[in-house]
Structure 1
């Protein structure tokens, strides 16, 4: 029985020279985002990188998918903010509201409804932003700014690249 390194759904292998060029480009884009965040004094840059991950891994940087990834990220961050605020202030009704909204969001994702607002990006942000170490003292205003900054920075970079680099040809089905 033979095995192949490129199974179904596996990303195509690039020649090593092209892979090196792409890697260098990724490093430049990431360094640019970090420098921009530092210049603007935005500290939770991980939130912008989470948005990039959701958009790139789930939607292959499709410009049409960016609004849903962004709105989902902001929705998840908003629910997490409510939960953190309720927990920090001992406001039980706010905690229950946040948990109720999260349950509704899970239901909507499972049911495939309201996908612009409740989607994989929403679930990613709810999961990460409710980690105890983050809930312990995150400034959600900065998180929202980092998400928006990531959407603008990575969106502009992806748009520019899409204008410069031709789209790959679809693989022939044999």
Structure 2
């Protein structure tokens, strides 16, 4: 009989000291991203953090999954931009085109096709970036910059960490 913490879906428990070190590292990485964004005058940093969430939660920071997460995020942001532009300018044809693209993206995700472009990251960005409060006045050029900056920053950090910290052994991961 297994305990809830030992179930297959539960994250591994770290000793408290290791958890504190990892937490400190996460704070430093996040602070670095915020400082970089401030220095570059990129304001919608939430878009970079959203990419980090999609990449880390859905793909455990796999470097192989980063391109798909990034392309999906940019695809979702692009479709959301089209919808916002169409709505803001009263261009009904553009709104309909954007909605058709979104329905097509949902179909492709459900069908498991074109996964580099239409994936969970695409759906996450379509969902978040189409919230009315964001649609009202977001500068999607800045969103694209924030997504790209997040991919670069968090990708480089994850790559460097993967070179410094040894991967867990399969025996340790199985226990």
TM-score bucket (shorter structure): over 0.9
Deviations 1:32-78 (A, max 9, x none): 00000000000000000000000000000000000000000000000
SS of residue matched to 2:150: helix
- In structure 2, the partner of 1:40 is 40
Q: Equivalents in 2 of 1:43, 1:6: separation in Å? A: 41
SS of residue matched to 2:162: helix
Contact kept? 2:4, 2:10, Cα under 8 Å:
no
Distance 1:111 1:2, change over 3 A: closer
CA positional deviation for 1:172: 6.4
CA positional deviation for 1:9: 1.2
CA positional deviation for 1:161: 0.1
Deviations 1:11-52 (A, max 9, x none): 100000000000000000000000000000000000000000
Q: Equivalents in 1 of 2:85, 2:11: separation in Å? A: 41
Structure with the bigger percentage of helix? 2
Deviations 1:67-121 (A, max 9, x none): 0000000000000000000000000000000000000000000000000000000
CA positional deviation for 1:4: 3.3
Q: Equivalents in 2 of 1:69, 1:104: separation in Å? A: 18
SS of residue matched to 1:5: helix
RMSD, aligned α-carbons? 1.4
Aligned length: 173
After superposing on structure 2, the runs of 4+ consecutive aligned residues of structure 1 that deviate more than 2 Å are 1-6, 171-174
Distance 1:115 1:136, change over 3 A: same
SS of residue matched to 1:83: helix
Distance 1:88 1:9, change over 3 A: same
Gaps of 5+ in 1: none
Contact kept? 2:33, 2:153, Cα under 8 Å:
yes
Q: Equivalents in 2 of 1:130, 1:29: separation in Å? A: 28
